[in-house]
Amino acid sequence: MIALTIAQLARIVSGRPVLSGDDTPDTVVSGTVDTDSRNIGPGDVFVAKPGETTDGHLFVPGAAEAGASLALVEHPVDAAVSQIVVDDVVTAIAELAKHVVATVRGRGDLRIAGVTGSNGKTTTKNLLARILEEEGGTVAPRASFNNEVGAPLTMLRVTDETRFLVSEFGASAPGEIARLAGLVEPDLGIVLMVGMAHAGGFGGIEATFHAKSELVRALRPGGVAVLNVDDPRVAAMAPIADDNGTTVRWFGRGERADVRAVDVEVSASGTTASLVVDGRERTLRLRVLGEHHVMNALAALTAAIAFGVDVDAAIARLEAVELAERWRMQPLGGDRVRIINDAYNASPDSMAAALRTLAQITAPGERMVAVLGAMSELGEYAGEEHDRVGLIAVRLGIQRIVVVGDDARRLFLSAVGEGSWDGEAVFFSTADEAFDYLVDELREGDRVLVKSSNSAGLRHLGDRLGEVFS
């Protein structure tokens, strides 16, 4: 965070300072801002956020012992650290983030990109950050810091040396993206796709469209909207950009795309695509597994070009990325049994894409095994969407479908109903039961996909399988 006095901080967040030790209102604070006391070090700012299972105020003394210079609290705490008392710490960090970003932008050449979409946000954010970091100081979210807490915390890492801020905007209800993007008014916004992820919270696919389009509406006049030409709902955001005085740059496989993939080949070692960029053909060799990640790479490349990055340099940086993020199409295991751990998040679209990738990278004589768990946040659509994934798995010829968790039972029943009734599909209530089965069942030549939403916890099952078969 940029340097601010305690008095300045208090004014920005409309709070009341409670000083400790030798601190005065003019004491300068400039450390990292975090809600996790385990990440706090000397000079940092601890945010005591109340939670569902615990209260951050309980950890203020620990943060003080770790060297925190300030705590942001909703009530004073008996601890040897200066505090600013506010009505709501989440609102306070948003206001602080807005001030910090505006200050840095006013002093120099800070460029801000926002990324949203039903799938692919984190991968695209990481790919774009990887391109930009060689152009200058770049701040991007850790993991999926894309909500009302994570997004402001990322923004607060901006300093006067930062040239690029890449923000990921997720949402579980209408208005959230507008509120988060409104804190920084991005120069560029990427919309990847409008799918069924979080549809339960939004109330359906059309409501999801309106929520994702909030990023386009939040762009600064004269900015750039980077839109997926292949997704009709994303393409329908172009008039919003026009009304905003925003330029549209298209990516995808359609002929209208400014950055287009005309041929894609998927293998166990990565994905190769022929690209057409402003009329010139180039080759992209991604090490990241999965045809669907080509679209994420196209989006990142389109954004980088809009920011003035040389095309060939950007492609070379994309090709250097070995893993987009832990638990996202992460190769594990060894030559005997290959594990693909993609269990950090899941939606109907990403489930289908991951299953197709499994089919594409499995050679003749090898066996496809899909270990599948529940997809969360689908609301009333959960049953039919789990049914659909079961059908896809069977129709792709997956030889073993291992369904884990009671919330995913519909997926298992769908697979059985579609024809996997002779032992091809099995069900286990717990990951431990599935692990015991898989350790005995997997054999040389198996290619194993582990896929579920984060809440299902299968990412840890994937890690365990990777260790056993490494």
- Dihedral, CA atoms, 424, 428, 432, 433, nearest 10 degrees? -70
CATH 3.40.1190.10 positions along the chain are: 92-319
- Annotated binding residues, as ranges? 117-123
Average pLDDT score over the chain: 94
* Residues of the chain above pLDDT 70, percent: 98
Radius of gyration of the chain (CA): 23
Over 90: is that where the pLDDT of 18 sits? Answer: yes
- Regarding the domain with residue range 330-468, which homologous superfamily does it belong to in the CATH classification? Mur ligase, C-terminal domain (3.90.190.20)
In angstroms, rounded to a whole number, what is the distance separating the alpha carbons of residues 131 and 324? 13
The closest of 225, 153, 161 to 188, measured between CA atoms, is 225
Per DSSP, 69 falls in state S
CATH 3.90.190.20 positions along the chain are: 330-468
In angstroms, rounded to a whole number, what is the distance separating the alpha carbons of residues 52 and 403? 29
pLDDT at res. 323? 83
pLDDT category at 331 given cuts 50, 70, 90 is: very high
Whether 121 and 112 have beta carbons less than 8 Å apart is answered as: no
* Residues of the chain above pLDDT 90, percent: 82
Q: Which helix (DSSP H) or strand (DSSP E) does residue 54 occupy?
A: none
pLDDT digit string, tens, across residues 391-403: 999 999 999 999 9
pLDDT category at 201 given cuts 50, 70, 90 is: low
pTM reported for the whole predicted model: 0.90
Whether 297 and 267 have beta carbons less than 8 Å apart is answered as: no
In angstroms, rounded to a whole number, what is the distance separating the alpha carbons of residues 441 and 226? 45
pLDDT at res. 380? 86
Whether 161 and 139 have beta carbons less than 8 Å apart is answered as: no
168-177 average pLDDT score: 87
- Annotated binding residues for ATP, as ranges? 117-123
pLDDT category at 261 given cuts 50, 70, 90 is: very high
pLDDT at res. 173? 78
Dump strand ranges (E) for 242-355: 247-252, 259-267, 270-277, 280-286, 330-333, 337-342
pLDDT digit string, tens, across residues 127-155: 999 999 999 999 999 877 889 999 999 99
pLDDT at res. 200? 56
Could you name the CATH architecture of 92-319? 3-Layer(aba) Sandwich (3.40)
Over 90: is that where the pLDDT of 99 sits? Answer: yes
pLDDT digit string, tens, across residues 414-454: 999 887 767 799 999 999 999 999 999 999 999 999 999 98
pLDDT digit string, tens, across residues 35-76: 999 999 999 999 999 988 889 999 999 999 999 999 999 999
pLDDT at res. 197? 57
pLDDT digit string, tens, across residues 353-384: 999 999 999 999 999 999 999 998 888 889 99
Topology of domain 4-87 in CATH is: 3.40.1390
182-211 average pLDDT score: 83
Q: Where are the alpha helices (DSSP H) in 225-291?
A: 232-235, 238-243
